[in-house]
Structure 1
């Protein structure tokens, strides 16, 4: 009789753990599905980015979350804010377009950008050595909206890994303790 009770309790614990594991899997799956839907809707490989520097202040602050759309929908104009990636640099850059050169015989373009808080345009130290313009293949997307301050958690966890590990440990303890 006592063994039957123990087996029943173990079975309940295993079912509870399995339920939590499946619930976590569903949450992760939903997050991935939402991300892929954003990629489809915006046409951008990276539909959401976090601003990690102050080069666009005061308009766009460090820690803001930016929403991007592909540049194919509408030509880029001077004054647009774009996110671009330079070969050899890990982090995408968010800056304003200050000049656009279009090729008349094709759909290609060249851009010159500048951070709002910077004194000089990006050909002076931001672009790769010898690069004077951005080409269309450098552009990740055009900014269409933002959420102020929502990216600070990402910045803090990137700059202070200890906080990331404490948060993950705390969430793990919470999950274990909830049984």
Structure 2
């Protein structure tokens, strides 16, 4: 069966092959447009994230897909936020446990902690950093889908799976006859 598809691929004219490649590129660009549209709608640079650790159990488990939004309202104690520490690539999902508002500047100082952790996140912040700020927050959690993000974790843990999946999808797009 696979040999038949390869023969079909070889019989394709340059025009048909170009059309299949353009179809594939349209799908990829549509996905990017949806992502950017979600980012604009939610006011968050990353409207969807995957939980990578068990630090927020039992609220969220590893592999849960989180939907984020970044409203203009101030952060409150109890909010579950996703934030980035400068110099690090992976955002962190933790709950706000303490706030300090500076009246003169209006700046908000935020302390976070994972629900499943024994201590606050000061050990995760950069050396000498005691608080994070609103600028560090990517978004507040607005909803989630349990375990939907496990495929992302598997692709990060096993990079060859990622390449195999991309290769399979690319090949499928080329040999798809519709």
TM-score (norm 1): 0.85
- Work out the CA distance in 2 between the residues paired with 1:74 and 1:176: 48
Pairing 1:134-149 to 2, within 5 Å after superposition? 134-149=132-147
- Work out the CA distance in 1 between the residues paired with 2:106 and 2:67: 24
- Give the total of aligned pairs: 168
- Segment drifting more, 113-122 vs 40-49: 40-49
Per-residue deviation, 1:12: 5.7
Partner residue in 2 for 1:18: 18
Report the structure number with the largest CA radius of gyration: 1
Pairing 1:27-42 to 2, within 5 Å after superposition? 27-42=27-42
Per-residue deviation, 1:167: 1.9
SS at match of 1:39: helix
TM-score (norm 2): 0.86
List gaps (5 residues or longer) in structure 1: 1-9
Per-residue deviation, 1:172: 3.6
Cα distance, 1:32–1:173 mapped onto 2, change above 3 Å: closer
Per-residue deviation, 1:103: 1.9
SS at match of 1:150: coil
Per-residue deviation, 1:70: 1.5
| RMSD of aligned alpha carbons | 1.9
Partner residue in 2 for 1:58: 58
- Work out the CA distance in 2 between the residues paired with 1:171 and 1:127: 39
- Work out the CA distance in 2 between the residues paired with 1:36 and 1:90: 19
